[in-house]
A and B are shown apart, each in its own frame.
Chain A
Amino acid sequence: MSKIIASAAIRGAKVIYKEAEGFLNKTIKEKGEACEVKFPETAFYFPFAYALLGEEVKNLSDAKKVLDFSKTLLHEEPSDKIWLPYLGDTLDSGVAALLCEEIIMALRYLYNQEPQKDCNGFFSDTILRTLGIQLVDGRMPGFAAILGAAPDNKTAVYIVRELQKRSIMTFVGSNVNGRSIIDQLLEEKVEMGWDTYIVPYGRDTISGIYPLNWAIRGALTFGGHKKGEALKNLMYCKNRVFAFGMVLGELDDIKYATGAGAINMGFPIIADTNVPEIRPSGICTYEHVIRELDHKKIVPAAIELRGIKLKISEIPIPVSYSPAFEGERVRREQMFVQFGGKYSDAFEYVKMVDAEKIEDGKIEVIGPEIDDIKEGGATPLGVVVEVSGRKMQKDFEPILERQIHSFLNEAMGIFHMGQRDMCWIRVSKDAKNKGLKLKHFGVILHARIHDVFSAIADKVQVTIYTKQEDVKRISEDIQKVYKERDARVAGMTDESVDLFWTCTLCQSFAPNHVCIVKPERIGLCGAYNWLDAKASYELNPTGPNQPVKKGECLDPVKGEWAGVNEIVKQKSNHTLERFCGYSIIDSPETSCGCFECVVAILPELNGFMIVNREYTGITPAGMTFSTLAGTIGGGQQTPGFMGIGRLYIVSKKFISAEGGIKRIVWMTKELKESLTDKLKDRCKELGDPDFINKIADETIATTTEELLPYLEKIGHPALTMEAVM
C-alpha cells in the first residue's frame, strides 16, 4: 500500500538531503562560499530552484540557501500505528529530493565528475529549444525516463524499441545493484543519442534529475511562467509534458524519493516489480504508481497511465491517411461513387450504447460493397457508429458524430461534406483502385474515435448500410433524435449566458472562418448548438470549440460584443475585425462551406430569400444553391449573403437587425414545410399568424419579376419596411 511508498520516499529524501549537505559543506570548505557553481549551457541556474523557489543559484552560498529550504520539506516517516496523513509529506519530500539532487549534480560538475562515461550529462538549453518545443506542442508524444536495468539485455532492447517505435523520447539511466540499462544497451550495440531518441543520462538515480529539470525549463520557456511560480510551472508539466518514469528492477528509497518528485510534476511511475500501487488520481492525471510485470505490456500500460496521445501513424487502409488530405476535393471526373448530397439518401449517426451490446472493432457492411457499385453512380449510405465508455455521455453523441467529417476527409481519396442526414461523400477512382472499401470507413472511424476520444470511448462498433430500405428506415427513426438534440437548447437566450463558443472545425476548408455559436444561433452546419459546443469543449479543452466571453455589448440590436470581436480577429488570423451576430448587412458572420441554407438579399424586393442545400432549382436571386454557395463560402464576409443553419430561421435573433423574419419573401417549399410548426409559432409571436403564408416558394415564383406582383397582392410587410440597403 501507499504507506510503504510514502515511508520510503520520506526516508529517501532525507538520505539525498544528507548527501547534498555533506557534499556542499565539503565543497564550501575546499572552495569557499563565493565559489561559482553552475550547469553547462543554461540560463536557468539550478532549474528547479529557479522555477519553484525563484532562486538564482550562482555560487555555493546560494546553493546553501536552497539546501536549507529543502530541509523544511523533510518530514517524519509515518508511524506504525495511528499515522498522520502522509501524501502531502511524501510530495514535499519529493520536492526536497529534486532540489538536493540538483545541488549534488552541480557540485559534481564543479569537480569534473559529470558527464559520466557514455552519458549526456545535463541537457542544455539548446536541446531544450530544439526538442522541447516538440514535446510541449505535441509533435513528440512524450518522454520516458527509465531507471534501473531490465532482467536481461534482450528485454532492455525490446522496451526501448517499443518506445522508439512510438516516437517517445527515452532517457535511460540509474542502475539495479550496479547494473545499468545504459550498459545493457551498449552491449547490444543500440545506437544512442538525441537523433535516435534514446539518451543516457547517468548511471545513478541522482542523475535522473536531468530529464526532470529539462522538463521544468519547458514550463519556463514555452509556458511563459516566471521564476518562483511553483504551482504554475508544475501544472504546466502536468498538463503539457507527457512524461513518465519507468523503473526496471528493484526500487530503493532514493528511487522512491525521486519518483515522488516526478509525481509533483504530474509524471506517474510504472514499475516492472511488485511495488504497491497508488491508483487514486489527482496529483497526476491518472494513477500515480502502477506495476506491470509483463514487459510485453509495460510500454502500452505506461502510455495509458500518462494519457499519452499517440498519433496513429498507420491506419490499416489501402490509401494514405493524414490531416494533409483533409481539404482535398474529389471532383466529378475523379469520382468513382458518391453518397448523399442531392444524389442519394445518406446519413451518419453516432449512438451511445451499453458496453455489453457491442464488440469493439466490429465492422459490418450490410448491402452492396464498393465493388458491387457501378462507376459514376450514387448509392444510399447509412453510417451507424455505436460507442460505449465509462465516461461517455449522451450529450457527446453529436460531437463525435460531427467529427466523422474530418475523420473520413483525412483519408486520401475520400471527400466528405455536411453532417447528419445531409452528408455528402465521394470516393475517388484512384482510391477504389487501391482497394478502398466501405468497410474501411469503419476502420477509420474506429481507429480515430479511439485515438481522439480515448477519454470517453472504450468500445466502438461501426455498421454501414447501403440498401435503400435500411437507410430510409433508420434515417426516419433518427429524425426524433435530431429533434431532441435541437430541443435541448430551446428556451435559452443569448442574454442568459456569459459565454458563446467558437467553432473552427471547418478551418481545413475555410482557414479564416469562425462560427460564433450562441444559444439563439446554431452553428451554420446545423449540427452544433450552444450546448454541443460546450460539451465539445469539456471533451477537448484545446479543440475547435473555445469559450468566448461576450464582454461589453457594443450594439444590442446588431448583436455586437467586444469579446466576440476580439476572438473573431484572433481566430480569423486577423482577416476579420468584427462580427454582428444579428445582421446580414453590417459585418455579418462568415460562412465556411457546410451551411444548411443560404440567405440572400433581393434588393428590388427589400427582402431576403432562403434556399436550402437540397434544392437544385433556380432561385429568385438568379442563382442555384451551389452557385450561391460557391460565391459566399470560404470564410469571407459578404454583406447581404450568409450561410446559416435551418433552425436559425426560427430564432428571435434571425437577422433581427434588419427586421427579422418579416424580411423573408421567399423560401423553398421543402424548407418551409420542415419548419412549419416553428414558423407558425414565430408568426404568432410577431402578432401576424398569417405571415407564413405570405412567404412565397418555388411554386409561386422563381424570379423577382414574378415575385413582386405576388408580394404586392398579398401585402408582404417587407415592401413597406425601411429600406434594407
Chain B
Amino acid sequence: MAKYLDRSADKASQQMIKQAEKDSVQLAWDRLEAMQPQCGFGELGICCKNCKMGPCRIDPFGEGAQVGVCGANVDTIVARNLLQHIAVGAAAHSDHGRDVAHTLSLVGNGHAHDYGISDSIKLKEIAKIYEIKTEGKKDLELAREVAEKALSEFGQQHGELKFASRAPEKRAELWRKLGIMPRGIDREIVESLHRVHMGVDNDYKNIIMHGLRCSLGDGWGGSMIATDLQDIMLGSPKPIRSKVNLGVLKEDHVNVVVHGHEPTLSEMAVKASSDPELLELAKKQGAKGINLVGMCCTANEILMRHGVHTAGNFLQQELAILTGSVEVMMVDVQCIMPALTNLASCFHTEVITTSPKLKFPGVRHIEFKEERAYEVAKSIIRRAVENYKKRDKNRVNIPKEIMDLVAGFTAEQVKTILGGRFRSTYRPLNDAIISGRIRGIAGVVGCNNPKIKHDWAHIEMVKELIKNDVIVLQTGCSAIACAKAGLMTPEAAMEYAGPGLREVCETVGLPPVLHVGSCVDNARILIAAAEVVKEGGLGEDISDLPAAGAAPEWMSQKAISIGTYFMASGVFTVFGGDPPVLGSKNVTDYLCNELEGIVGAKFAFEEDPIKAARMMIEHIDKKRAALKLTPSMRAKV
C-alpha cells in the first residue's frame, strides 16, 4: 500500500500526506521513521535520569544491572517515571483551569470588559457547590467570589477539593479511605515532583497511589474548573451543527486557523473575524471574507459554543499549512508541534504565538492580555487579512473532504435534551441502560499518534462500540476523528448503531456518538457519570456503572493523567499502545489487575482497536451482570 494510505484513515489527510511526499516536505510520520529504532529502554520506562549519579537503565533481560546507582529497582524507576508523566499532564490541564479562573476574576473585578457572564444559572450552581451564598448578589459579584474560590483551590494545602464532592458519596468516601482525596490542585503536583526526586518515594504502590491523587486533582479539580468556569464566562454549549475536516478551509477567504487548547483568546478571535472593519479590509485584499476555523482542542471549544468549523485534529496541524491557504495559524498552548515554524516558512503562513508560556525563536509573538482581549484578537486577525495578498494561489491545494456533525453535548444539556424544560432528567438514559437498549457508556478520548494509523483506531473502536449498542462520549482529537468519519451525525445512528442504541437515538434525535468537548471537558464525562449514578438504578458508584473508557491513539502526558483519573474514579480504561510501564512486571500488574480490587477499576493496554472495544464491552457486560441486568436487550432473543 502506498505510504500515504497507510498513514491516515482520513482521505483529506491522505491527500495532503501524498502532496508532502511529492514536495519532499517532512511530516510527523517522516520524523518518526527517521527516529527508528526508538529507544527500547524509554519504551519500557526503565531509564532514570533524575540525578547526576545516572543516567541509569535497568537491563530488561535480567543479565545486566538490575538497580540504578542509588539502588532504585525497576519498579521504583517505572513508577516514578509514570508519576512524573501524570504530574505533567495534570499540570497542563490545571494551568489551563487556573488561567480561566484568573480571567473570570478579572471579569468579576471589572478588568476584562470583553468578557461577561454568559450562563448565570450555571454561575449560581457552581457558587452553591463552593458554598457561596447567592441570594441578592449580582452576577459579577458572584463571579468574583467563584473565581477567588476556584483560584484558592489551586494553592489549597489541607482539606478536600470542593468539586470532588460532586462524585458519588461512595466514591468520595473511598478516596478518603485510601488517602487519595486531593487536598489541593498544585499541592499534589508539587508533591509528585518531590516524590520523584532522588531518594524519596521508593515503594511503587505508594508512588502510584499518589499518582491517582494527583490525577484526581486534575479531573475533579483543574480540568473541571476550566470547563465550568469557561461555561460560565463563554456560555454553556447546546447542541449545534457544524462542519469538519480540511475542506472547511476556503480558497477565496482569508483563512485563520486557531490551534491549541485555551478558548479565551480564540473566543475573541471568532468575534473579530466578523468585525465589519476587518471584513471591509478583507474585501479590499480581494478575499470574500474571513474564515476562522479551529484545530485540536481550541477547535473543540469554539465548535461546542459557536459551531465554528473544525479543520482537523493533532496530526492535521501540519497538513493545514500544507494546503497553502492558511494566512495565520494562531496558537495558544499544548500540542503545538515545534515543526510548525519550519513548515510555515515554506509558505506564506504566519504562525503567531500568544501565550507567555509558549514561544518559538524568531516567531511573531502577540501576547494575549485578558484586559484587552478583543484588541489583541483583532490585531491578529488583521495580520491574517493583510497576509492574504501573499498567498500563492498556484500552491493552494485544499482537500474537498468536509463532513457535517452535531456537537455541543454537556452533562447539563443531556437533561433538557431528554426531558425538555419541565421534565429535565437523566431518567430516559438510565432506563435505556437498564432495559438494555443501551448496553453501556464508553468515553473514547485522546490524541493522535503517528505510530498508529491516523484516526483509524478511534473510528474502528467507536464503530465497534456503537454497533454493540454502547453509546459513546468523545472529547479532544478523538472526537474530531470520529466527526470526520460522519459518526457524529444523527443519521449515523441508522447506519452504524446497534438496534437498541438506534431506537434511543431515533427517540431523542441524537447521534450515536456525542461530542462533549475538548480534553479538559473530560470533566463533563465525570459529571455525567455522577449524574447517572444519582438518577438511580445503576448502582451507587461510578465503578458500578456499565461504562468504560479508552484512549486509542494517545501520545501526551495529559492523556496519561486523564486515563488515571478515569481509573481512579472507577472507570475501566484501555490505552491503545502501552504506556511506558511494561519494564516492571509489578507496576504493570498493579495497574492492570490489583488496582481493580482497590479503586474498582484498572488499566488495560491494547493496540488493536477492535480487540480493545471487545474488552470494553466485556467489562460492560460484567458490570451489567453485577447489576443483575441482561447483557443487552437483544442478547437473549
Residues of A within 8 A of B (CB): 1-3, 6, 52, 73, 78, 81-92, 94-95, 230-231, 234, 264, 278-283, 288, 390, 393
A contact residues around B418 at 8 Å (CB): 87-88, 282-283
Verify B427–A84 contact, CB threshold 8 A.
Answer: no
| A264 to B424 alpha-carbon distance, docked (Å) | 10
User: Which residues from 270 to 329 on chain B have a C-beta closer than 8 Å to any C-beta of chain A?
Assistant: none
**A282 and B425 contact, CB distance less than 8 A:** yes
Instruction: Give the residues in chain B near A283, CB-CB below 8 Å.
Output: 418-419, 423, 425, 427-428
Known: A82-B404, A88-B420, A231-B422. 16 other contacts (CB 8 A): A2-B509, A3-B506, A73-B421, A85-B509, A87-B417, A87-B418, A88-B421, A91-B420, A264-B423, A280-B431, A280-B432, A280-B503, A282-B427, A282-B428, A282-B429, A393-B628
Chain A residues in 8 Å Cβ range of B491: 81-82
Q: In the docked arrangement, what's the CA distance between A654 and B419, Å? A: 50
Question: How long is the Cα–Cα vector from A6 to B628 in the complex, in angstroms?
Answer: 34
Which A residues lie within 8 Å of B509 (CB)? 2-3, 6, 78, 83-87
Task: Name the distance in Å between A165's Cβ and chain B's nearest Cβ.
Answer: 31
CB < 8 Å neighbour of B504 from A3, A94, A280, A393: A280
List the B side residues contacting A73 at CB < 8 Å.
421
Min CB distance A276 to B, Å, is 9
What residues of chain B lie closer than 8 Å to A52, measured between beta carbons?
A: 422
What residue of chain A has the Cβ atom nearest to residue B500's Cβ? A280
Whether A281 lies near B510 (C-beta < 8 A) is no
The residue in chain A whose Cβ has the minimal distance to the Cβ of B416 is A88
User: Which one, A6, A234, A393, contacts B423 given CB within 8 A?
Assistant: A234
Q: How many A-B residue pairs have CB under 8 A?
A: 106
Instruction: Known A88-B417, A89-B420, A390-B630; judge A82-B507 contact (CB<8 A).
Output: no
CB distance from B502 to the nearest CB of A (A): 10
The yes or no answer to B437 lying at the interface (CB within 8 A) is: yes
- 4 tightest A-B contacts by CB? A282-B428, A91-B420, A86-B509, A88-B420
Selected A-B contacts with CB under 8 Å, 10 pairs: A73-B421, A83-B490, A84-B241, A88-B421, A91-B419, A230-B422, A278-B507, A280-B432, A283-B425, A283-B428
Of B489, B507, B630, which is within 8 A of A87 by CB?
B507
Q: Measured between C-beta atoms, what is the minimum distance from A129 to chain B in Å?
A: 26
The distance in angstroms between the C-alpha atoms of A514 and B430, with both chains bound, is: 35
Please, which residue of chain A has its CB at the minimum distance from the CB of B504? A280
Complex CA distance for A2 and B504, rounded to whole angstroms: 10
Residues B431 and A282 in contact, CB atoms below 8 Å apart: yes
Is B508 in the interface zone, CB < 8 Å from A? yes
Closest approach, in angstroms, between the C-beta of A95 and any C-beta of chain B? Answer: 5
Assuming the contacts A282-B428, A393-B628, asked whether A92 and B507 have C-beta atoms less than 8 A apart, the reply is no
Q: Which residues of the other chain, A, contact B425 by a CB distance below 8 angstroms?
A: 282-283
Chain A residue at smallest Cβ distance from B489: A82
B240: chain A residues at CB < 8 Å are: 84
| Chain B 520-549 interface residues, beta-carbon cutoff 8 Å to A | none
Closest beta carbon of chain A to B544's beta carbon, Å: 15
Task: Enumerate chain B interface residues (CB-CB to A < 8 A).
Answer: 239-241, 404-406, 416-425, 427-432, 435, 437, 489-491, 503-504, 506-510, 628, 630
Assembly CA distance A87 to B503 (angstroms)? 13
Across the two chains, which residue of chain B brings its CB closest to A260?
A: B420
Q: Which of A2, A88, A278, A280 contacts B419 (CB 8 A)?
A: A88
Given contacts A78-B509, A279-B503, contact A91 B422 (CB under 8 A): yes
Residues in A whose Cβ lies below 8 Å from that of B422: 52, 91-92, 95, 230-231, 234, 264
CB distance from B628 to the nearest CB of A (A): 5
Please pick, from B423, B424, B437, B508, the residue contacting A86 in the complex, using a CB distance under 8 A.
B508
**Contacts A6-B509, A82-B489; is A281 near B241 (CB within 8 Å)?**
no
Q: Which residue of B lies closest to A393 (CB)?
A: B628
Checking B420, B423, B435 against A281 with a beta-carbon cut-off of 8 angstroms, the contacting residue is B435
- Tell me if A95 and B421 are in contact (CB < 8 A): yes
Closest to A75 in B: B420
Q: Is the CB of B428 within 8 A of A280?
A: yes
Smallest Cβ-Cβ distance to A395: which chain B residue: B628
Instruction: Closest A residue to B502 by CB, please name it.
Output: A1
Please, how many angstroms separate the alpha-carbon atoms of A89 and B508 in the complex? 10
Beyond A2-B509, A88-B420, whether A82 also contacts B241 by CB under 8 A is yes
A176 to B263, CA, bound (A): 55
Q: Which chain B residues border A81 with CB–CB below 8 Å?
A: 404, 491
Q: How far is the CB of A508 from chain B (nearest CB, A)?
A: 31
Cβ-defined contact, A85 with B435, below 8 A:
no
A595: min CB distance to chain B, Å: 32
Q: How far is the CA of A364 from the CA of B516 in the complex (A)?
A: 58
**CA gap between A373 and B420 in the complex, in Å:** 65
Residues of A within 8 A of B437 (CB): 280
CA distance A91 to B427 in the complex (A): 14
The CA of A713 and the CA of B569, in the complex, are separated in Å by 62
Complex CA gap A653/B570 in Å reads: 36
CA distance A288 to B420 in the complex (A): 15
The contact of A85 among B404, B417, B424, B628, by CB within 8 Å, is B417
Residues of B within 8 A of A84 (CB): 239-241, 406, 509
**In the docked arrangement, what's the CA distance between A82 and B489, Å?**
6
Residues of chain B contacted by A85 (CB below 8 angstroms): 239, 406, 417, 490, 508-510
B residues within 8 A CB of A231? 422-423
CA distance A614 to B437 in the complex (A): 51
Residue of chain B at shortest CB distance from A266? B423
- CA distance in complex: A494, B623 (Å): 28
Interface centre among A78, A84, A278 (most CB of B within 10 A): A84
A90-B420, A231-B423 known; A82+B490 contact, CB < 8 A = yes
A280 touches B435 (CB 8 A): yes
Measured in the bound complex, the distance between the Cα atoms of B437 and A86 in whole Å is 19
A98 to chain B, nearest CB (A): 10
